[in-house]
Amino acid sequence: MSTEPKPTKQERRDAARAARLEAERAEAGAALRRRRLRTLLAVLGAAAVLVVVAIVVSGGNSDKAKSRPGAAQKATGAIPGQKESAAMLAGVPQSDIYLGNPAAPVRVVEFADLQCPFCREYTLQVLPRLVQDYVRSGKVRMEFRSLSFLGDDSVTAARAAAAAAQQDKLWNFVDVFYYNQGEENSGYVTPAFLDRIERAAGVDPVKAKAFAASEASKKPLTAANALADQLRVESTPTILVGKRGGALTPVQADPTDVGAYKAAIDGALGQA
Amino acid sequence: MSDRRLRQVAIVLALIGLGVAAYLTYVHYEGIESVCGLGGDCEKVQTSEWSDLAGVPVALLGLIGYAAILATLFVEREEALIAGALIALVGFGFSAYLTYRELFSIDAICPWCVASAVIMTLLAIVMTARLLRAPTGDRGVVPYVG
């Protein structure tokens, strides 16, 4: 027999109210959970759509690259540096080994070996600034002289560069080459490697190959060596700056020191 | 884990992500090589054709994404929870795609990019958990579901 006192009417009412509130709370909680789950599903759906759109937009580039005639690269698509080189040099006149306005008051002559890592540093870090600030505005004309003293790969590369110059694409070729520079004298400058670089630089690889194999492609190398001797160029990269028709002075600076090169050019512009 | 703790974790992750993305964006615009340890080849990845989306560098997109996630964490509204989770999930999906490209198309790994992908993955988990569990912004109307 129970000894518990019978709940009063008030207590029963309170208990019923508490139970009702509890049920309401549980129902509201469940409703919220359902709403949150629906929201999550909607968010997941929207996210999936956005990601697919992003991938399609991103992949669009590679499809274009693949459909370009003769683009024999695998799905890796564009060669490193291809876009950057094209952007840096877009609209800047090129002729043979020269870049920029033929009537520019100042000239900058670069002696470099395509295998030389410091030349790569200069080209990737300093050159874009100089092109942007001085060549585009017609103040400076640049000249690239290929030296080839580091080994067989240097000679092969320099002759290919001569072929690119013949097509007025030397600067694109050199820039893309530096982006893809391999280990010195590891034999990486193969016909397939050059083919890739040439295509990325907008050089006709068939014509380039024929020219590079000819005796004519040796001439610019000989000329560059002779000029380097005359100007006492002993290391690469050597960058010389001077007024058009005037004497050239080498810039003594770290190959990544943009400020030093700009100062040298500004100095020459001041005299010009 | 309480919502408060989840939010704190998300803030820390978003700040780290912001730092990584800011560095990668800086490297992209300065045209310099990033400090690339662990045998990675950052330059190959960062100059690949997948390094931008319709002309916008993916590093910059990441920077904007982390900043937006961070901003949502300081707004106490249901919409902010939804927006934060959406951005983190999109970031996670696109990071997964880019990591796939690194591994199978570019054949190079950029540790900074992988770090960002990992942070974005964690953020997607935390932001989704918050979306499911956080108290609503309409305080007092709907009870806490924990």
Q: What is the CATH number of the domain that holds B127?
A: 1.20.1440.130
Average pLDDT over residues A67-93: 67
CATH class of A82-271: alpha beta
H/E element holding A107? Answer: strand A106-113
Q: Quick check: A17 contacting B, CB < 8 Å?
A: no
pLDDT for A58? 74
- Per-residue confidence band for A183, with pLDDT thresholds at 50, 70 and 90: confident
Name residues whose C-beta falls within 8 Å of residue A241's C-beta, 6 or more positions apart in sequence: A106, A107, A108, A109, A248, A249, A251, A261, A264, A265, A267, A268
The three-state secondary structure class of A143 is strand
Instruction: Give the chain A residue whose CA is nearest to the CA of B129.
Output: A40
pLDDT for A64? 39
Check whether A49 has a pLDDT greater than 70. yes
Q: How many CB pairs under 8 A join A and B?
A: 87
* pTM (global) more than 0.80: no
Alpha helices in chain A (DSSP H): 9-67, 82-89, 117-121, 127-130, 152-166, 170-179, 191-201, 205-213, 219-230, 258-271
- Per-residue confidence band for A79, with pLDDT thresholds at 50, 70 and 90: confident
Residue boundaries of the structural domains of chain A:
1-67, 82-271
pLDDT for B15? 95
> Please, what are the averages of pLDDT over each run of 10 residues along chain B (146 residues)?
86 94 83 64 72 80 94 88 92 90 79 90 93 60 40
**Higher local confidence (pLDDT), A179 or A192:** A179
Q: Using an 8 Å Cβ cutoff, are A40 and A163 in contact?
A: no
**Nearest Cα to A110, choosing from A252, A263, A271, A241?**
A241
Question: Is the CB of B49 less than 8 angstroms away from the CB of A124?
Answer: no
Check whether A162 has a pLDDT greater than 70. yes
Cβ-nearest to A33 among B89, B90, B145:
B145
Cβ-nearest to B47 among A36, A58, A179:
A179
Quick check: is B139 in a domain?
no
Residues 33-52 in A contacting B (C-alpha not used; CB under 8 Å): 33, 36-37, 39-40, 43-44, 46-48, 50-51
Q: Classify residue B139 by its DSSP letter.
A: B
Query: In which domain, by residue range, is B100 found?
Result: 3-133
- Per-residue confidence band for A88, with pLDDT thresholds at 50, 70 and 90: very high
Amino acid at A202: G
Q: Quick check: A83 contacting B, CB < 8 Å?
A: yes
pLDDT for A222? 92
Alpha-carbon distance values, A258 to A88, A139, B5 (Å)? 16, 17, 48
Report chain A's mean pLDDT, rounded to a whole number.
Answer: 87
Check whether A126 has a pLDDT greater than 70. yes
Which residue is listed with tokens 């990584």? B20
- Provide the greatest CA pair distance for chain A: 123
pLDDT for B140? 36
Which residue is listed with tokens 């942007």? A132
